[in-house]
Chain A
Amino acid sequence: MSLKRFYLLGFVVLMVVDTFSQICFKMAATHAEPFRIEPEWVIRVVTNPWVYGAILGYIGAFVTWMTLLRHAPVGPSFAASHLEVVGVMIVSVPLFGEALSAWQMVGAALIVAGVVSLAIGETSEPHVQV
Chain B
Amino acid sequence: MKPLLITVLWALNILVDSGGHFAFKLAAIEPAADASTLEHWRHMLRRPWLWLGIFCFIAEFVLWLAFLSLVPLAEGVLLGMMSIVVIMVGGRIVFKEHFTRPRIIGMALIIAGVAIVGLG
The interface of chain A, by Cβ under 8 A from chain B, is 65-67, 69-71, 73-76, 78-80, 82, 85, 89, 101-104, 106-118, 120-122, 124-130
Contact = CB atoms under 8 A, between A and B. Distances in A.
Interface residues of B, number: 45
A110 B109 contact: yes
A75 B103 contact: yes
A111 B27 CA distance: 28
B21 A80 contact: no
Interface of B: 21-22, 24-25, 27-29, 33, 37, 40, 44, 50, 83-84, 87-92, 95, 97-120
Chain B binding site: helix, strand, loop or mixed by DSSP? helix
Contacts, number: 146
In order of increasing CB-CB distance, the 3 nearest A-B pairs are A121-B102, A103-B120, A114-B109
Contact of B103 (A89, A113, A121): A121
Contacts of A85: 113-114, 117
B24 A130 contact: no
Nearest to B104: A130
A110 B89 CA distance: 21
A130 B106 contact: no
